[in-house]
Amino acid sequence: MSETRIFDGAHLRAYLSHPDRSKLYVTFDHRKVGARDFAVYAPSKQALKNGFAHLKITTCQNDWYLNDDTQDLQRILTGLGQRYDSVHIMGFSMGAYGGFRFAKALNATSLVAVSPQFSVDPAMVPFDHRYRADIKGLDHSMGNLLSVPHDQLRGLILTDPFHKLDFMHATMLQMVYPNMDIVRLSFGDHPAGLVLRQGGGFAQLQKQAFRNDPEALEIIHAYRAARRSSRRYWTTRRNALKTRWPALAAQAQENLDKLEAQTGNAG
């Protein structure tokens, strides 16, 4: 297999498979609780099958790619992105933020971002306390997306509109990236694409990520199909509605009970 570690820092690594192809597909690590080391690299089989080179950017901890390696990696990516006819990014949560952070350097064509953050800087997002334990000591000046604008970036921001914090990040991102469309995956929680992944819809996410201009409709159809049998979806729906709409929450619980019964019968 044609695979090279093109950046090998103390905090960040970047792996490139089949670099001689004309299109590049880029993925990033998502946040992992307690992460303290680099994940093992495995190239995207679907990307390679569809004629893409694959670039995977990894971080050894949950630092949103903001560390002593950030600027050096950015310089490497700036040269790399120019070699390809098109550059396509997909990321989840922290990985989706990484996609935005390095989109300009890569001269990215499109991005499919699932439940991304606009920032983890308390000064910019004082309403979001979820990641405060992870971000102590980070240099937030390197993470300001306003300093790395990429106005031509097109794509999709997938988010759960009932997840207040995630939806606030999505709306802030759309103000900076006006060609990014928000796709509302209600009761998908965080990350909103997990219902799709668990329901076999990940291929649809990749299909859109491979496009120059990703489309929301096919993802929405796949999400509606996946949510019918998703405990995650019905649990999130029940919990979100139980205070203001108890009757709808009760219906969600009924669907959960049916799924449990079906699982029991199958066993």
What does the DSSP assignment read for 81-108? HTTSSEEEEEEETHHHHHHHHHHHHHT-
Positions of E strands within the chain: 3-8, 12-17, 23-28, 52-59, 86-92, 110-114, 154-159, 180-184
Q: What is the mean pLDDT of residues 8-25?
A: 97
Residue 250 shares a structural domain with residue 191: no
Residue 171 shares a structural domain with residue 42: yes
Residue-level pLDDT at 266? 55
Contact yes or no for 44/110 (Cβ under 8 A):
no
* Segment 65-107, tens digit of pLDDT: 999 999 999 999 999 999 999 999 999 999 999 999 999 999 9
pTM for this predicted structure = 0.94
Residue-level pLDDT at 265? 60
Residue 165 shares a structural domain with residue 209: yes
Whole-angstrom distance, CA of residue 191 vs CA of residue 198: 12
Residue 195 shares a structural domain with residue 84: yes
3-state secondary structure of 28: strand
Residue 214: cis peptide before it, omega within 30 degrees of 0: no
Q: What average pLDDT is seen over the chain?
A: 95
Query: Domain total for the chain?
Result: 2
Residue 138 shares a structural domain with residue 259: no
Residue 50 shares a structural domain with residue 155: yes
Full residue range of the structural domain in which residue 252 is found? 229-267
71: left (phi over 0), alpha (psi -120 to 50) or beta: alpha
Token representation of residue 51: 């004629």
Residue 8 shares a structural domain with residue 129: yes
Percent of the chain with pLDDT over 70: 98
Contact yes or no for 95/140 (Cβ under 8 A):
no
Whole-angstrom distance, CA of residue 219 vs CA of residue 226: 10
Residue 91 shares a structural domain with residue 186: yes
Residue 216 shares a structural domain with residue 243: no
Residue 204 shares a structural domain with residue 257: no
* Segment 17-26, tens digit of pLDDT: 999 999 999 9
- For residue 25, the Cα-to-chain-centroid distance in whole angstroms is 14
* Segment 186-237, tens digit of pLDDT: 999 999 999 998 888 899 999 999 999 999 999 999 999 999 999 999 999 9
Residue 151 shares a structural domain with residue 95: yes
Residue 140 shares a structural domain with residue 245: no
* Domain CATH for 96: 3.40.50.1820
